[in-house]
Amino acid sequence: MTESKQTPDLLVEKLAAGQLSTAEETAVRQRLEAEDGLSRLDDIAQSNQDILNDYPVRQMAASIRERYAASTPQKSVAFKLFWTLAPVSAVAAAAAVVFMLAPSPVPSDPSETTSVGSVDPNYSDDSIRIKSGDPFLRIFKKNKTDEIEVKSGDKLAEGDVLQLKMITNHARSMVVCSVDGNGAVTLHYPERPAATTRVTELKSISLPYGYELDDAPDFERFFIVWTESETPIDAQQIIEKIKSMKHAAHDTPELSGAVKFKDIMVKK
């Protein structure tokens, strides 16, 4: 039942695709000759032509890219394919850096912090309090021994690992995402589009993972989107707004009045 009666399809496919070594190619050709099966190569050539006619390259490539892009926001965080788990100690150390660098720190009086809803427990809450001003995003590039804060316009490269931190100030709901030079949108906070976007006021939230830049060209533009109103932001809607921008590098996302944003764009 399991012995090869004829050359397996995979070997013939590899031969037809020119993916065998010279020795393997000779062996498979001899085998096909012996079983009078060289016509299988012609069949594959004809089938290739038929398939490319029936399912044209441009159409299929566009469809594949569309599927890939559609799956990216939902999976970007869940699968952590582009993410590298950051050691807890590094997050803690980074939290200390933010604490030292954060503008206008106020005394740590618990009464100043108002909880407005449940917060995603997967994200560390560094309990840093800032008295006034808009929420903001800080990005740190992780080196072997330390972290350097990244500013808009800085030049980064594929493989750089970034640590994101949000200072909530008076935001009650918040989303952090980024769009790259390929137009792919990655959701950073919350973890999933359907998860709560509510945040506690006057806090610093460190994402539990480092974000590794991939090979997308030109830029990665990070958005922190928030509202101070009671109505929480829908992360999926924000993803769609970012995706719908014609020029991802410089367009302004169309957000409703109560929803505000800031962005940091790094070059690649």
Partner 1 sequence: MAVDVEGYYTQFGPMVLRRCRHLLKDEEAAVDAMQDTFVQLLRYADRLDDEAPSSLLYRMATNVCLNKLRSAGRKHEDADTDLLQKIACAEVPEERFIAANLMNKLFAKHRESTRTIAVLHLLDRMTLQEVADEVGMSVSGVRKRLRPLKSQLAELQRSNLE
Using the minimum distance from each CB to partner 1, give the nearer residue, 16 or 205.
16
Identified binder of partner 1 from the candidate list 30, 34, 67, 146, rule CB under 8 A: 67
116 close to 201: Cβ distance less than 8 angstroms:
yes
Distance between CA atoms of residues 55 and 216, nearest Å: 27
Site string for partner 1, 28-47 (x = CB under 8 A): ----------------x--x
78 close to 192: Cβ distance less than 8 angstroms:
yes
Q: Least Å distance between CB 163 and partner 1?
A: 20
Distance between CA atoms of residues 179 and 198, nearest Å: 22
166 close to 189: Cβ distance less than 8 angstroms:
yes
Using the minimum distance from each CB to partner 1, give the nearer residue, 31 or 262.
31
- Tell me if 68 contacts partner 1 by CB under 8 A: yes
Nearest C-alpha neighbor of 264 from the set 102, 133, 137: 137
Q: Least Å distance between CB 268 and partner 1?
A: 13
- Tell me if 71 contacts partner 1 by CB under 8 A: yes
Distance between CA atoms of residues 91 and 105, nearest Å: 20
Q: Least Å distance between CB 36 and partner 1?
A: 18
> In degrees, to the nearest 5, what angle opens at C-alpha 51 toward C-alphas 5 and 64?
110
- Tell me if 85 contacts partner 1 by CB under 8 A: no
Helix (H, G, I), strand (E, B) or coil at 67: helix
Using the minimum distance from each CB to partner 1, give the nearer residue, 1 or 100.
1
- Tell me if 209 contacts partner 1 by CB under 8 A: no
Identified binder of partner 1 from the candidate list 38, 52, 88, 106, rule CB under 8 A: 52
Torsion-angle region of residue 221: left (phi > 0), alpha (psi -120 to 50) or beta?
A: beta
- Tell me if 115 contacts partner 1 by CB under 8 A: no
Identified binder of partner 1 from the candidate list 32, 40, 82, 211, rule CB under 8 A: 82
DSSP category for residue 112: G
Q: Would you tell me which residues interact with partner 1 (CB under 8 A)?
A: 1-5, 8-11, 13-14, 16-17, 19, 44, 47-48, 51-52, 55, 57-58, 60-61, 63-65, 67-68, 71, 75, 79, 81-82, 214-215
